[in-house]
Structure 1
Amino acid sequence: MCAAPSPAEASLEPALPAFPAPSAPESGALRPSGVATMVGSGLANQTGAAIGSLAFPVLGPAGVVAVRQYVAALVLLAVDRPRLRSFTRRQWVPVLLLALVFGTMNLSLYSAIDRIGLGLAVTLEFLGPLSIALAAARRSVDAVCAVIAAAGAVTLMRPQPSTDYVGMGLGLLAAACWASYILLNRTVGRRVPGAQGSAAAAAISALLFLPVGVVLALRHPPTAQALGYAVAAGVLSSAVPYLADLFTLRRVPAAAFGLFMSVNPVLAAVVGWVVLGQNLGLVEWAAVAAVVSANALCILAPRR
């Protein structure tokens, strides 16, 4: 098994496959431009997911994800066109697995958003990379972080008459896919040069969702408004975060970047409330805070 990522790498929102990023500065004050970019990237990512959910009544989660996969493929193919004929079997295996995980991750997340709301879905999904980071650690403080994160997850999933267990399960499936995505991306990055592996995976994932787009177009022709929402989701949740992260990682220490990315569940809850009117209760906010705090503590605690 390949090495697990650092907490900063694990905290990346999976809008696009995480390419080997330029080394971030290890010290020095945060630059205002870097902070502004991180804020903009996080808000764009969660706003894109919220806008995409507005197209659910017409396209459904699968239709919105299909459009998002198309946008992601176009962006990545523009960055680095893969030489598919030169790929060996050793390279194709992780690329194909990454394509499958990439599509499943987004589909399960958007289906969870449709059932339990943006804030709770993103919080459950965030347990995936957090688990990877904690599994790779060997400090006593990481055990505390694991307990805090587990408490937050149990609080979110506490049995109630109105609990949507299917939605919760989809959120946890997205978490498992995100964790698998991180490990596979590491393998692809080592076996395939540049961004060719990630671009190939995104293109294959888009092809897998092509029948979904065809069926929707023939059986339920999308309205211009719904299609616009889905395209906006693809741009805001794929293209913008990818380009912003490339800019940010050159100007912000890795620990600070990972710490800020861990706030994504909070941003998702706020955007869900402002854009979609999805209100969280005090207990749900406490659970979100527990998951975010666990990641923050894992990053900030001194290492031997």
Structure 2
Amino acid sequence: MKVDKVHRSRRLAPLLVLAQISSLQVGAAVAKGAYAEVGATALAGMRLLFSAVIMWALVRPNLRAVAAHKWRAAAALGVVFAGMNVAYFTAITYLPIGIASTVELLGPLAVALAMSRHMTDAVCALAAVAGVVLLAAPGASLPVAGLLLGGLAAACRASYVLLNRTVGRLFDDWSGLTIALTIGACLLVPVAAVTQGAAVVRHPAVLGTGLLVALLSSLIPYSLDMTALRRMDARAFGILLSLSPAVGAGVGFALLHEHITVQQGCAIALIVAASAWSVRAAGRRPERRDRRGAPARPDGAVSQPRAGQTGSVE
């Protein structure tokens, strides 16, 4: 009976990852649906603010026990949070959610390929480049501003991948993530207040939308991440996360009536395939070991997060 319980738990894990992806993309759709009342910067600021407040209430980090080098890592991650949120939320004002998610996925993929020393990953790189060419080629009907903002979000996402690993190693609990969210909110909320505070005053109900976006895009995915990673290996988790653009395209179509052309669909498929293959190939390579014979993970490898380290924050 115990074995059956374990099998059921493992079968449930992919559903949890798909629920996490869906929650993120629905959160983006909810935010985009409110753009008629308030701008992207305000929604991004509210997402960080509410996420930080809720995490602070749950975690209650002991700031006096945080060493200077930990503060620096958390602060850097907070800056990335602010940039990543405002870049992505602004990008979806120009692009369908599925396209914006595809461009953003290029960041983590670039990190994985840059860390690789295997020729087989050149195929992944070529597939990703082909996808980008299809997205940006003449006749693709995508605004240049949207693609540039998506590229900025991808660069921030790549930095997030590297910094999040560092913060996850330095902090044994969720304190690092809480501090980073708070710093990101402190940077972004004043900008949002100055530029779009009047719109929030005119439409106070949008604060509820901001809270919903924080729950759907941050807190619920954090919980699902941790639950899923207790039931499956990080390689399978990474492959499933590569499906985010496809889920985003479906959510955008269902909730916002966003349409994807055949050319754009092919681009999404190429980039998703490149990302999934990169993660799969990394998991099949022989494990490196240090002098003591213990597993030695390269910095760019996909690894199971510790407490306070997740892969779902956009």
Q: TM-score range by the shorter chain?
A: 0.7 to 0.9
- Match of 2:269? 289
- Match of 1:257? 237
Alignment root-mean-square deviation, CA:
2.1
- Match of 2:285? 303
Amino acid at match of 2:98: G
State the TM-score, normalizing by the size of structure 1: 0.85
For the pair 1:275 / 2:292, whether they are aligned, the reply is: no
- Pairing of 1:1-304 with structure 2 (within 5 A): 31-160=10-139, 162-215=141-194, 216-218=196-198, 220-301=200-281, 302-304=284-286
Q: Is the 8 A contact 1:115 1:164 kept in 2?
A: yes
Q: Is the 8 A contact 1:124 1:175 kept in 2?
A: yes
User: What whole-Å deviation, never above 9, does each CA across 1:253-290 have from its counterpart, x for those lacking one?
Assistant: 22221111100000001111111111000000000000
Distance in 2 between residues matched to 1:199 and 1:170, nearest whole Å: 26
Task: Name whichever of 218-227 and 182-191 sits farther off.
Answer: 218-227
Q: Shift of residue 156 of structure 1?
A: 0.8
Distance in 2 between residues matched to 1:28 and 1:129, nearest whole Å: 31
SS at match of 1:31: helix
Could you list the runs of 5+ residues in structure 2 that have no partner in the other structure?
Answer: 1-5, 287-314
User: What whole-Å deviation, never above 9, does each CA across 1:114-149 have from its counterpart, x for those lacking one?
Assistant: 111211111000001111111122222211111111
Task: Name whichever of 55-64 and 202-211 sits farther off.
Answer: 202-211
Q: Is the 8 A contact 1:123 1:291 kept in 2?
A: yes
Pick 1 or 2: higher relative contact order, CA cutoff 8 A, min separation 6: 1
Amino acid at match of 2:243: V
Bigger Cα Rg: 2
Aligned residue pairs: how many? 278
Q: Is the 8 A contact 2:235 2:280 kept in 1?
A: yes
User: What whole-Å deviation, never above 9, does each CA across 1:34-79 have from its counterpart, x for those lacking one?
Assistant: 1221221111110110011111121100011011001221233244
Amino acid at match of 2:280: L
Distance in 2 between residues matched to 1:57 and 1:71, nearest whole Å: 21
Amino acid at match of 1:284: Q
Amino acid at match of 2:257: G
Cα separation, partners in 2 of 1:96 and 1:43, compared to 1, 3 Å: same
Distance in 1 between residues matched to 2:182 and 2:13, nearest whole Å: 30
State the TM-score, normalizing by the size of structure 2: 0.82
Amino acid at match of 1:208: L
Task: Name whichever of 225-234 and 50-59 sits farther off.
Answer: 225-234
Could you list the runs of 5+ residues in structure 1 that have no partner in the other structure?
Answer: 1-26
Q: Is the 8 A contact 1:80 1:199 kept in 2?
A: yes
Amino acid at match of 2:285: R
Report percent identity of matched pairs. 36
SS at match of 2:226: helix
- Match of 1:8? none
